[in-house]
Chain A
Amino acid sequence: MARRVLLIEDEPNIIEAVSFILSRDGWTVHTHSDGASAVARVHAHPPDLVILDAMLPGRSGYDILQELRGAEATRHLPVMMLTARGQARDRELALKLGATHFMTKPFSNAEVLDRVRALAGG
Chain B
Amino acid sequence: MAVDPGRRRLAGGRIRARRLDAGLAQADLARRVGISPSYLNLIEHDRRRIGGRLLIAIAQALGLEPAQIAEGAGDALIDRLGAAAAARGHGAEDAEAFAGRFPDWAGLVEAQAARIEALEAQVAGLNDRLAHDPELSASLHQVITAATAIRSTASILVEGEALDRDWQARFHNNIHADSLRLAESSRRLAGYLEAPGEAAGSGALSPLDRVEAALDRLGHHVPALEGESPSLRPAEVAAGVPGLDASARQILNGWCDTYRADAVALPLDTMARGWRETPEPLALAARLGCTLPRLLRRLASLPPGIGPTRAGLVTCDAGGALGPRRALDGLTLPRGGAACPLWPLFEALSQPGRPLRALAAMPGETAPEVLCIAVSTVETGPDWAAPPRAGAVMLMLPRDALPEAAPRLRRAVGPGCRLCPRDGCPARREPSLLPASPRPL
**A→B interface (CB under 8 Å):** 10-11, 13-14, 16-18, 20-21, 24, 53, 55-60, 62-63, 66-67, 84-85, 87, 89-90, 93, 105-110
Q: State which residues 384-402 of B face A: CB under 8 Å.
A: 398-400
Q: Is the CB of A93 within 8 A of B329?
A: yes
Inter-chain pairs besides A17-B149, A21-B152, A60-B399, 14 sampled, C-beta below 8 Å:
A10-B366, A14-B145, A20-B156, A21-B160, A56-B366, A57-B364, A60-B329, A60-B398, A66-B309, A85-B141, A89-B131, A105-B148, A108-B155, A109-B159
CB < 8 Å: which of A11, A62, A87, A109 contacts B155? A109
Q: What residues of chain A lie closer than 8 Å to B34, measured between beta carbons?
A: none
Q: Does B174 contact A (CB under 8 A)?
A: yes
Q: Is the CB of A59 within 8 A of B367?
A: no
Interchain CA distance A32-B170 in the complex, whole Å = 21
**B→A interface (CB under 8 Å):** 131, 137, 140-141, 144-145, 147-153, 155-156, 159-160, 167, 170-171, 174, 177-178, 309, 329-330, 364-369, 398-400
Interchain CA distance A66-B309 in the complex, whole Å = 10
Interchain CA distance A112-B289 in the complex, whole Å = 53
Q: What residues of chain A lie closer than 8 Å to B152, measured between beta carbons?
A: 14, 17-18, 21, 106-109
Q: What residues of chain B lie closer than 8 Å to A66, measured between beta carbons?
A: 309
Q: Is the CB of A13 within 8 A of B329?
A: no
With A24-B160, A55-B368, A105-B144 given, is the CB distance from A63 to B151 under 8 Å?
no
Q: What residues of chain A lie closer than 8 Å to B160, measured between beta carbons?
A: 21, 24
Q: Is the CB of A17 within 8 A of B366?
A: no
Q: Is the CB of A106 within 8 A of B144?
A: yes
Main secondary structure of the interface of B (DSSP, over half): helix
A57 nearest in chain B by CB position:
B365
Q: What residues of chain A lie closer than 8 Å to B159, measured between beta carbons?
A: 109
Q: What residues of chain A lie closer than 8 Å to B400, measured between beta carbons?
A: 59, 63, 67
With A59-B400, A84-B140, A93-B329 given, is the CB distance from A21 to B148 under 8 Å?
no
> Distance (Å) between the CB of A48 and the closest chain B CB?
22
With A85-B330, A105-B144 given, is the CB distance from A13 to B365 under 8 Å?
no
Interface-centre pick from A56, A63, A90 (highest chain B CB count, 10 A): A63
Q: What residues of chain B lie closer than 8 Å to A24, measured between beta carbons?
A: 160
Q: Is the CB of B177 within 8 A of A13?
A: yes
A97 nearest in chain B by CB position:
B309
Interchain CA distance A107-B167 in the complex, whole Å = 21
> Distance (Å) between the CB of B365 and the closest chain A CB?
4
> Distance (Å) between the CB of A56 and the closest chain B CB?
6
Interface-centre pick from B148, B155, B399 (highest chain A CB count, 10 A): B148
> Distance (Å) between the CB of B331 and the closest chain A CB?
10
Q: What residues of chain B lie closer than 8 Å to A110, measured between beta carbons?
A: 155
Q: What residues of chain A lie closer than 8 Å to B150, measured between beta carbons?
A: 106
Q: What residues of chain B lie closer than 8 Å to A59, measured between beta carbons?
A: 368-369, 399-400
With A59-B400, A60-B398 given, is the CB distance from A17 to B177 under 8 Å?
no
Q: What residues of chain B lie closer than 8 Å to A21, measured between beta carbons?
A: 152, 156, 160
Q: What residues of chain A lie closer than 8 Å to B131, measured between beta carbons?
A: 87, 89
> Distance (Å) between the CB of A103 and the closest chain B CB?
10
Q: Is the CB of A84 within 8 A of B141?
A: yes
Q: Is the CB of B398 within 8 A of A106?
A: no
With A63-B400, A89-B131, A93-B329 given, is the CB distance from A11 to B369 under 8 Å?
no
> Distance (Å) between the CB of A71 and the closest chain B CB?
14
B144 nearest in chain A by CB position:
A84
Q: What residues of chain A lie closer than 8 Å to B366, measured between beta carbons?
A: 10, 53, 55-57
Interchain CA distance A58-B398 in the complex, whole Å = 12
Q: What residues of chain A lie closer than 8 Å to B148, measured between beta carbons?
A: 11, 14, 84, 105-107
> Distance (Å) between the CB of B130 and the closest chain A CB?
9
Interchain CA distance A85-B153 in the complex, whole Å = 21
Q: What residues of chain A lie closer than 8 Å to B141, measured between beta carbons?
A: 55, 84-85
Q: Is the CB of B367 within 8 A of A55?
A: yes
